[in-house]
Amino acid sequence: MQKRNVFSYPSLRGLVVKNWTSDVRLDGKTAIVTGANTGIGKETAKDLAKRGARVIIACRDMERAQEAANDIIREAGNVTVLPRKLDLADTKSICEFAELIYNTEKSLHLLINNAGVAICPYSTTADGFEMQFGVNHLGHFFLTYLLLDILKHSAPSRVINVSSVAHSMGKIHFEDLNSEKSYHPVKAFVQSKLANVLFTRELARRVEDLGVTAYVVDPGIVKTELTRHMKKSLQLFLKTCGFLMKTPAEGAYTVLYCALAPDLQTGGYYRNCGLASCSRAANDDCTANKLWAVSCRLLGIRWR
């Protein structure tokens, strides 16, 4: 079988040119991709569908989710692409989604926590959490917790969290996680992206003996809808420098690498289809353990 190129783009973008190919098939496998109605998530779901996977695209907006599913089915030739309602800003919606998965799915081999919000005006989730911390970290933390049993049942299985190089500017503000004392959209965003890395690190340590592995991805600077809340001047700058940015398909490459490549380092931080270094704060096991405990307390759950 001819291998399909999954990672190759011009050095014009100032990135390491690297080729990684895979002919891995996913027939009989099930994957969930959050935020898969557009951008990196949609491209990830499309590739998995082309490989024969049963793909659940979990989105807040069901109309857009159905449109994305139709697009993917048409391009991938795989009719098992299923839109499902999931609002990561509402723990009730997360519970309802998880219940639906247990009632309709026999297995789950890939959980790709891709959805997110970025640099938005201050707002809170349905449960009162600051929106970026609540969606990007707590929403996916809670979703993974709820789906862990089916992930264990389906082992070997993988959890892939999408972070950002911006995590390196972040700090976990335990004294003000919800930005109630002060709010800056960038500070809240980079905190949430650091939380993604720390969560992955701690998750990998806790579930490795269960046959579940975890990876965190920096997809690079990608042209997606995630910039919609940025200031107009910054949006204009990014548009002007668009040739330096990755396309959503290119942004999905490392996500797919972590989904498909064998013998990866669980808990690892991946960039450009390879293991990469992350910030000192992201390597702090004490902070990772404390964030885990605080996240459980905020969500009212017990997770060993």
Q: Is residue 294 part of a domain?
A: yes
Question: Which CATH number is 178's domain given?
Answer: 3.40.50.720
Host domain of residue 157: 27-299
pLDDT at 225: 55
Instruction: Let me know if residue 63 belongs to a domain.
Output: yes
Does residue 36 fall inside a structural domain?
Answer: yes
Residue 10 forms part of a structural domain? no
Residue 121 within any structural domain of the chain? yes
Give the helix ranges, DSSP H, for the chain.
Answer: 39-50, 62-76, 91-104, 131-132, 140-153, 185-207, 232-240, 248-251, 253-260, 285-299
pLDDT in tens, the chain (304 residues): 334 444 444 333 434 445 678 999 999 999 999 999 999 999 999 999 999 999 999 999 999 999 999 999 999 999 999 999 999 999 999 999 999 999 999 999 999 999 999 999 999 999 999 999 999 999 999 999 999 999 999 999 999 999 999 999 999 999 999 999 999 999 999 999 999 999 999 999 999 999 999 999 999 987 655 555 455 544 444 444 444 578 999 999 999 999 999 999 999 999 999 999 999 999 999 999 999 999 999 999 999 7
11 falls within a domain: no
5: in domain: no
Going edge to edge, which strands form the sheet with 110-113? 81-85, 54-59, 30-34, 110-113, 157-162, 212-218, 269-271, 274-275
pLDDT of residue 10: 39
pLDDT on residue 224:
59
Question: How many whole angstroms separate alpha carbon 184 and alpha carbon 4?
Answer: 43
Whole-angstrom distance, CA of residue 178 vs CA of residue 134: 8
Residue 18 maps to a domain: no
Domain count, the chain: 1
pLDDT attached to residue 233:
46
